[in-house]
Amino acid sequence: MVALLAYAGAWLAPVAARPALAVLAVSAAAAIGPIGALAVAIGSLAVPVPWSVRAALLVAAAINGALHAQRRRHSRELVARSFTDRLTGLHNYDYFAEAMRSELARVRRYGGCVTLVMLDLDRFKSFNDQHGHAAGNRLLNGVGQAITREKRDADIAARFGGEEFAVLVPGRAADGMIVAERMRRAISDLTPAPTSQRDFAPAISASAGIASFPVDARTPQELFELADRALYEAKRRGRDQVVVIGDIVAPPLRLARTS
């Protein structure tokens, strides 16, 4: 609106004020973006101002448009970084919690199912104690890359903190099992380099627990609790495996929760 008023004013104002109003029109249009600035700059060619001013307006439009695009790109990058775990490249807890609320709302409205996979590295504290935190960070980075490779485009993966990860899988528990098994095998294939000639490359493994909404849970909190319970069972059974909550909780009990 400011750009249009300034552009109109450049026609109606006294000759001495026209250049300033034309410059204001281009500056205001830059807030719309490069296309807006360029449109007003081209339009200013018809405004009765000297050609030197018109040339300056075109240059100003190009510069202002480029700066605006750069600011928008920088703003998007800042938002992306605020929801990204820098060590693993996965989403962080805040992003995942919001994504889960959206997914559960979608399922409630349109039907279907969504599955939560909780994944935890086995004996990570011992790994850190033996090989140091720098090696632990390199391992977490490798795990993040493995999860990113193995997840589907529609899956949402996040690091919850420490050595715990979560993946939201559109679909039933069987879909979550496929994704979780792929990730478990990929993590088992990681072979971090030994820290000295006396060390052997350590064996890495992960355990996972799976629960689905609305088959197993009615709320996000219940979904987390049940997936975490299945994860604990995977650890109890010897680690390096995936357990579905349906394997340890009788179906009538689970169905009663959703009634």
Active-site residue set: 163
Burial class (CB in 10 A: 0-12, 13-18, 19+), 40: buried
Interatomic CA distance for residues 37 and 63, integer angstroms: 9
Q: How far is CA 47 from CA 44, 81, 170, in A?
A: 5, 44, 57
60 touches 32 (CB < 8 A): no
5 touches 13 (CB < 8 A): no
Q: What are phi and psi of 44, to 5 degrees?
A: -70, -15
State CA 199 to chain mean position distance.
Answer: 36
